[in-house]
Amino acid sequence: MSYDLFVDLRAIQNYIFSSNKLKDNIGASYIVSTLLNKVEGKDLCKNSSGDIKSDSGSENKEEEKGFCGGGNLYLQCKTEDEAKNIVRNLSKRIFEKAPGLSFNAVILKAEEEKDFSYRMQRLYQKMAEEKRTHHQITTLPSYGINAQCSAGPLSAQYQDPFEKDKYISEVVYTKRIKLLKNDKENDKEDDTISDEYSQYLSDDFKLTEEFLEISPLKGEDSHIAVVHIDGNGIGAIFSTLKTLSDYQEFSKKLNNDMQQALRETIKILEDKIRKGEWDYNYKTVNVENVLKYILPLRPIYIGGDDITFVCEGRLGIELSCIFIEEVQKLLNRDDVSFCAGVAIAKTNFPFFQIYKAADALCRSAKNKRLQDIKEEVAKKSDSYIDFHMINSSVYSNLEKVRKIQYTSISGKNILYYRPYKLSEMKKQIENAKNFARTWPNSKLAKFREVLYKSEDELTAFKQDINTKINLPLFYDGFQDFANSDDFFFDNKTIFLDIIELIDLLPEE
């Protein structure tokens, strides 16, 4: 008889992305990515696939008993006491190494005669019940007599390792200390955090740990993009797998392909910068007498079928397209696709707000994909992208923002067409580039203004530009707009998206 143990880390996104300091985001991501690998000195994840060995010294493939990744851990235990002991050790490890994180765990007697997918389904159902009834508190509350953390609402407990005149909570301290290599408070296995993604870079590039270094521009022109990409159809694939080894094999392939797609995306970005195809004066720094570019992209988290990275504002949409194409090419399945949300804002805008916008945009893309599949105008392999430029001082609900900012004065017309299929997004990028090459900025500004106006003003502007051969309309991939008298089709337009895209693409 054996027992199935399933562990799920809670509120990972809040833990990783709640800080406005990139150092904190990177440190938190590293903690989440490695926390389930080791409990009380026992190596649980022994290889890149995330396979788990209950015996840390064993190298026998037959003794691989589970998998971990994306904040989840599954382990097949010989006895219930063994499972409970692992949960006990994990609780201690989180309390010591990751305050602020919490988890839920379920243990069920294994029905070994059943398919493994059935056993996992039972664990998921039990986990949902567990989450509704049990909550953990792993932080020290703040009282009026406590000094407050300079980076959050909790009590200050430690001196900031980077800014010695400030004091921070234990939650923030454990994130930031991970970036100090060979620090006496770091375990030996934690010393490589600074090199986690550096291996993906060429010798003439380096990663940054500061948001301000991601964008080479200053002041009002300095923007970053937060890109959140999530897979579609992955859960359905796992539900069809009958054995633990099938789970492990697909988990390994998914993990490797996500990592490789990131490598390829970075390589393409480096090549475009070197060749001047994307014309920016990216900052360079002298590292050990070697002049290096600061890569305008910083991966923050990869887990399972999702990835979040931050990059220079005008690179977000292009890089999301590149990553999705690369990972779909590697997975090579017609039942898997990806959706991306790209939120662009000024560099000093609250980071967690930008992330929440990117997450909402990703959900918007997923909803559009499901709707199109239902209407039989899309396939399961179609990926979708949604994007938004945050212009206000405070970001609120995406639907409310679009209702206010993207509706004509009459209330009749909707001024956005996004989300787009990946193929449509690429055509819109080319349409935007063609507009930028041929239309003067003054005319583009007038076009944008007119789109909000009455039907008569729209028709008059359309008639005016029809008389000017130097102001062609570009709508490749959207032929429904070819015969429109007022730039709209079914009360929606693609042209405001195109005008906004012009400022959200890299200069060539």
User: Which token pair is 395?
Assistant: 């970001």
> Is the CA virtual torsion 275, 278, 280, 286 positive or negative?
negative
Secondary structure percentages of the chain, helix, strand, coil, to 5: 45, 20, 35
Given a contact cutoff of 8 angstroms between Cβ atoms, the answer to whether 362 and 36 are in contact is: no
What is the CATH class of 3-133? alpha beta
Give the span between the Cα atoms of 16 and 22, in whole angstroms: 10
Look at the block and give the residue holding tokens 């390994």: 252
The set of residues, in sequence order, having a beta carbon less than 8 Å from that of 104 and lying 6+ positions away, is: 7, 8, 10, 127, 130, 131, 134
Give the span between the Cα atoms of 227 and 317, in whole angstroms: 8
Query: What's the pLDDT at 139?
Result: 72
Give the span between the Cα atoms of 215 and 226, in whole angstroms: 12
Give the span between the Cα atoms of 451 and 179, in whole angstroms: 49
CB atoms < 10 A from the CB of 31, how many?
A: 22
Look at the block and give the residue holding tokens 């062609």: 472
CB atoms < 10 A from the CB of 207, how many?
A: 20
Look at the block and give the residue holding tokens 């998998």: 67
For 419, the 3-state DSSP assignment is coil
Going by the DSSP 8-state scheme, the letter that residue 94 receives in this structure is H
Look at the block and give the residue holding tokens 């008889």: 1
Query: What's the pLDDT at 198?
Result: 81
Given a contact cutoff of 8 angstroms between Cβ atoms, the answer to whether 8 and 276 are in contact is: no
* Residue 409 CB-half CA count within 13 A: 11
For 396, the 3-state DSSP assignment is coil
User: Which token pair is 16?
Assistant: 């990783």
Given a contact cutoff of 8 angstroms between Cβ atoms, the answer to whether 130 and 106 are in contact is: yes
Instruction: Delimit the CATH 3.30.70.270 region(s) of the chain.
Output: 198-405
Query: What's the pLDDT at 47?
Result: 37
Query: What's the pLDDT at 283?
Result: 66
* Residue 503 CB-half CA count within 13 A: 17
Residue closest to 66 by CA, chosen among 247, 293, 252: 247
Give the span between the Cα atoms of 40 and 397, in whole angstroms: 43
What DSSP line would sit under 341-373, residue for residue? EEEEEETTS-HHHHHHHHHHHHHHHHHHHHHHH
Q: Tell me which CATH homologous superfamily contains domain 198-405.
A: Reverse transcriptase/Diguanylate cyclase domain (3.30.70.270)
What DSSP line would sit under 75-89, residue for residue? EEESSHHHHHHHHHH
Give the span between the Cα atoms of 317 and 418, in whole angstroms: 13
Given a contact cutoff of 8 angstroms between Cβ atoms, the answer to whether 206 and 337 are in contact is: no
φ, ψ dihedrals at 167, nearest 5°: -125, 140
What DSSP line would sit under 34-45, residue for residue? HGGGEETTEESB
pLDDT along the chain (508 residues), means of 10: 91 90 91 73 44 42 66 90 91 86 92 89 93 77 77 85 88 86 48 64 88 82 94 92 90 93 96 84 70 90 93 96 98 95 94 94 97 95 96 80 90 94 97 96 96 93 90 95 92 96 90
Give the span between the Cα atoms of 32 and 69, in whole angstroms: 9
Q: C-alpha distances in angstroms, 151 versus 179, 208, 299, 345?
A: 17, 20, 22, 21
User: Which token pair is 234?
Assistant: 């992955």
The pTM (predicted TM-score) of the whole model is 0.90
Report long-range pairs for 91-97 (Cβ below 8 Å, ≥24 apart).
92/40, 93/35, 93/38, 93/39, 93/40, 94/35, 94/138, 95/138, 97/31, 97/35, 97/174
Give the span between the Cα atoms of 46 and 38, in whole angstroms: 9
How far, in whole angstroms, is CA 269 from its chain's centroid?
18
